[in-house]
Amino acid sequence: MRASPPKKFLVIGPSWVGDMVMAQSLYRLLREREALAEIDVVAPAWSLPILNRMEEVRRAVELPIAHGRAGLAKRYAVGRALRAERYSHAIVLPRSWKSALVPYFAQVPIRTGFRGEWRHGLINDMRAYDAKRLDQTVKRFIALGLDAGESALPPTPVPRLRIDAQAQASTLERLGLPRASDVVALLPGAEYGSAKQWPANYFAELAARLARVGVDVWILGSAKERPLGESIRAAAAHSGVRNLCGETTLAEVVDLLGATRVAVSNDSGLMHVAAAVGTYVVALYGSSSPLMTPPLTDRKHVFHLDLDCSPCFQRECPLGHLRCLRDISVDEVCSVAGTVLGEPLFAPNREAGHEPHA
């Protein structure tokens, strides 16, 4: 009796850095269930460096369409070009109707996705969207990798991005960064808005304290975040603090985070990258919730005050005080970083009345 050929998946990936990292949990689940499964991912151009660091992904297919645009002709062209691949299954992670077009145009016979906006016909393996059961983004992703009718969620496979050691060494040399044993990355940006950002002056004070005891501090982010990074570097006023925002590609950031021991981060895409390369993550949550999008690692400390007004999921604090982040003190964050680094100088200032929040 001839064995069935391995499944061949076409996955329509999400549009945000953090979600793209968390989607690797789905790819790992698919490969756990069928070791020879082939997985191709359709995704925007910016995310290709992330997908290229996932061992489970055979091929990343660029979708040359700006975020939010329908781009029907381009989606048709991509789908038609993929017909020759003869995929057995498609999994559509976004819930929009347009995200389901490429696998439909590619004539994939089984197209799995959640019930969403006007997708009947485009999705022919429609799954119910139970927000209470699927209370985390990563659970929503792995649920689409289950067989129809299967309800019990398996343990979540955690993302693991590959570090390119040769590229890492080249990036360190290009930027003039020493191969230090103690490096802390600061990730002060958050694409969604200011209600997810720990105050810049808090990051600056943290950077100064770390640098004064010989810890190298790298501020990482996009070119858009360079002014923010520069304000932190200037306020820290120490040569051990480097503002690298805008000086690196996304692939280089992956490798640089792999060279750090601790990453102090807002709830952002780079927080998930840091978790996926094995860095200890100190995560700062304000308007969002660690119950929904936690860093998928055991090596973490999460700060979330759980105020009456949070999580509000707003871009800016609707009450104007941003207490959900301002009340997370530098002393507390410094203490956690110091514990990981084995540096006793970062004891919290208990005389000021600050107690750790976990």
- Sorted by where each begins, the domain ranges of the chain are 8-143, 165-352
- Positive or negative, the CA dihedral 47, 53, 57, 58 is positive
Looking at residue 344, its pLDDT comes to 61
Residue 357: pLDDT above 50?
Answer: no
Looking at residue 346, its pLDDT comes to 54
Mean pLDDT for the stretch of residues 91-95: 96
Rounded-to-integer distance, Cα 212 and Cα 215, Å:
7
Judge: domain 165-352, CATH 3.30.930.10.
no
Looking at residue 2, its pLDDT comes to 60
Radius of gyration of the chain (CA): 21
For the entire predicted model, the pTM comes to: 0.92
The runs of H, that is alpha helices, within the chain are: 17-22, 24-33, 48-51, 72-81, 101-105, 137-143, 165-175, 200-212, 226-236, 250-257, 269-276, 323-326, 330-341
Judge: domain 8-143, CATH 2.40.50.90.
no
340 pLDDT tier (thresholds 50, 70, 90)? very high
The tens digit of pLDDT for each residue in 282-305 reads 999 988 899 999 999 999 999 999
Q: What percent of the chain has pLDDT over 70?
A: 94
Residue 347: pLDDT above 80?
Answer: no
Residue 222: pLDDT above 80?
Answer: yes
The tens digit of pLDDT for each residue in 64-81 reads 887 767 789 999 999 999
Q: What percent of the chain has pLDDT over 90?
A: 77
| Cβ–Cβ < 8 Å for 161, 273 | yes
Mean pLDDT for the stretch of residues 34-49: 95
Task: Tell me which residue of 302, 294, 265, 260 sits closest to 277, measured CA to CA.
Answer: 260
In this structure, of 158-167, 192-201, 272-281, the range with the lowest mean pLDDT score is 192-201
Residue 42: pLDDT above 70?
Answer: yes
Rounded-to-integer distance, Cα 353 and Cα 27, Å:
46
Domains 8-143 and 165-352 share a fold: yes
